[in-house]
Amino acid sequence: MKLTYRGVDYESNPLVVELIPGEMGGKYRGQQWRRHYPRHIRVPQPVAELKYRGVPYYVGDPLDVEAMKLRRQPKAIATEKTGQKSGQDLANAHLNHIRRNLEHRLQVAREKGDQTLIRLLEDEARQMMVGS
């Protein structure tokens, strides 16, 4: 349909909404009337992996999200084989660094002859042995 507004011509393409007749609504001036509801066509939400403040989350249909996670799973395994360490390896490396640091501090305390510091560091070493 061709329309004009303030001298500017434009085409109007109204949106066609399919209606579904509902239950009878009642009578008005002797005529029955029915409610009509728009027919909704479900448009699936696209699946996306998003991040908010460094925390990943997913949007979309839960089944599609799980399928996407499964498709990406082989990539995660491949990155572990390329040199990334597992959580247990990192925890062991961290514990080794703490032990080496403690040994170095104990050695310096012995060289200085500080008996109080030596006792404290030896207590710390015993606590590490009990905790691990």
pLDDT digits (tens, 9 = 90+) for 88-117: 888 888 888 888 998 999 899 999 999 999
- The answer to whether 31 touches 12, Cβ cutoff 8 Å, is no
**Cα–Cα distance, 1 to 4 (Å, whole number):** 10
Identify the residue whose tokens are 């005529």: 31
**Cα–Cα distance, 57 to 48 (Å, whole number):** 9
pLDDT of residue 75: 54
- The answer to whether 125 touches 102, Cβ cutoff 8 Å, is yes
Q: What is the maximum span of the chain, computed from C-alpha positions, in angstroms?
A: 109
pLDDT in tens, 29-71: 988 888 887 777 666 778 888 899 989 888 887 778 888 788 7
**Cα–Cα distance, 48 to 36 (Å, whole number):** 35
